[in-house]
Amino acid sequence: MELFYKKKTKSLFFIFASLIIGSIINSCSKKTEEPSPIVEITADVPVRWAAMTLKIAEKTPGNTPTYASRGFGYLGLTMYETVVNGYPEYASLAGQLSDLTTLPKPTIDLKYNYALSLNAGQAYMLRSIYDQTSGANKGSIDSLEKVILTEISKTEAADVVTRSVAYGQEVAKIIFEWSKTDLGYQGYKNNFTLDYKLPTGPGIWVAPTFSQSASQLPLHPFWGKNRTFLASNATLTMPKPIPYSTDPRSQYYAQFLEVYAKNKILTQEEKEIALWWGDDPSRTFTPPGHAYSLANVAVKAAKPNLMRAAQTYAAVGMSIADAFINCWKCKFVFVAERPSSFIRRNIDGAFVQFWPEPPFPAFYSGHSVQSGATATVLTALYGSDFKFIDTSHQGREKDPLTFIEFKNRSYNSFWEAAEEAAYSRFLGGIHTRSDNDVGLAEGRKIGQNVNALKWKK
């Protein structure tokens, strides 16, 4: 009997040991098949980098709406791709975007801190996109990167820190090399080119007399040839402007008469609206910067996790980048005049609009198309009744041209903000309603294409 119990005890021991070893082996095999678990990280790091991006866009001399929009696209995409592989339910956009076939992937059975990857990727990309910015601005980029690295490294293993930083830089480097082939690389070197011959004739744009630029040449006339992030946005049907006519009974004449009449009776609030959305590139983060700022406003208010925050900046960034390419393509096909030139020729020779004109043709409105695209993607992410306060110009000094103060504005939805942004160009006297309505409609199409990407598996 004693021998029996000894044998039984020994047998139970081997069975128990086998179960434990099997469990360990099974656990190890799973680790090689799935990414390591994510410790949830908040959106603090992407919010700080978006703010830095807006600062650099504003503080870099000679920045333009076109070049800035491109930068926001690549920075947003880089933010997304440096973290996406840490979230198994999300999909990389490599293979979905124009000519971007593949991107580096993390080693599956090793741990990464994706906030560190994002930090490294943003620093690399911001320095690369704005290689022309000042030494002080580059120092600000370096400083933010170091601060975030130090903060996170305090609670992370040294090998994880090194690996995560290297991964973020690797992803950013591949995206930056891809960006060099889009025809917009270092576009700041050729803002106003002599290679473009401006057409002449009835209804054709002429250089403004009350302008945001000293140049008599149009800004980036070939920007519409650039590669879009989404091939589907490049193939959208181009809208057409209202046919030219000087007949006072025509729709063409009526749209400019409306601009003229409104500019004579602007209220204080209407002037404040025009100023809030003016986004003069010589004094602010440019019009697409306002859209990227709204993404930051939304993320700070909604407090999403790291992945959803990164998706927000990627969706908005690529939307506004494609919006400006499509808009510029249309602008330099029709080269449509601004209200000021038609009004002075046909209605009132002494007319001066409220807001200085940007140096490029009118149809269709760049503010409107990027606002429509932004509203479309943000609504898809955060809902159609997302109430927020736009603090984009908070703390900015009184406008030196109009002596009007910048006051934060409240909205009940992203589309309410987009429609006001479009309307502001009518109030400024630099766009017709048609320019704005078409821009909003085109922006919606662009944003819908971005929403249709396979963001999740």
How far is 237 from 208, CA to CA, in rounded Å?
29
The predicted-structure confidence for 177-208, as pLDDT tens digits, reads as follows 999 999 999 999 999 999 999 999 999 999 99
Share of residues in the chain with pLDDT > 90 (%): 87
The predicted-structure confidence for 250-289, as pLDDT tens digits, reads as follows 999 999 999 999 999 999 999 999 999 999 998 899 999 9
pTM for this one? 0.90
Mean pLDDT of the chain, nearest integer: 92
In the predicted model, what is the mean pLDDT of residues 38-56? 87
Residue 97 bridge partners (DSSP): 100
The predicted-structure confidence for 320-363, as pLDDT tens digits, reads as follows 999 999 999 999 999 999 999 999 999 999 999 999 999 999 99
SS3 readout for the chain = CHHHHHHHHHHHHHHHHHHHHHHHHHHHHHHCCCCCCCCCCECHHHHHHHHHHHHHHHHCCCCCHHHHHHHHHHHHHHHHHCCHHHCCCECCCCCCECCECCCCCCCCCCCCCHHHHHHHHHHHHHHHHCCCCCHHHHHHHHHHHHHHHHHHHCCCCHHHHHHHHHHHHHHHHHHHHHHCCCCCCCHHHHCCCCCCCCCCCCCECCCCCCECCCCCCCCCCCHHHCCCCCHHHHCCCCCCCCCCCCCCCCHHHHHHHHHHHHHCCCCHHHHHHHHHCCCCCCCCCCHHHHHHHHHHHHHHHHCCEHHHHHHHHHHHHHHHHHHHHHHHHHHHHHCECCHHHHHHHHCCCCCCCCCCECCCCCCCCHHHHHHHHHHHHHHHHHCCCCCEEECCCCCCCCCCCCCCCCCCEEECCHHHHHHHHHHHHHHCCCCCHHHHHHHHHHHHHHHHHHHCCCCEC
Residues 6+ apart with CB under 8 A from 207: 215, 216, 217, 218, 359
pLDDT tier for residue 18 given thresholds of 50, 70 and 90? very low
HSE (side-chain half, CA atoms, 13 Å) at 24: 5
Res 24: pLDDT: 34
Share of residues in the chain with pLDDT > 70 (%): 91
More confident residue, 25 or 415: 415
Res 376: pLDDT: 98
- Is the pLDDT score of 113 beyond 90? yes
- Is the pLDDT score of 301 beyond 60? yes
Res 402: pLDDT: 87
The predicted-structure confidence for 72-102, as pLDDT tens digits, reads as follows 999 999 999 999 999 999 999 999 999 999 9
Res 95: pLDDT: 98
- Residue where the block lists tokens 């293993």: 157
State the chain's maximal CA–CA distance in angstroms. Answer: 119
pLDDT tier for residue 40 given thresholds of 50, 70 and 90? low
- Of 209-213, 385-389, 450-454, the least confident: 209-213
- Is the pLDDT score of 7 beyond 50? no
In the predicted model, what is the mean pLDDT of residues 13-23? 38
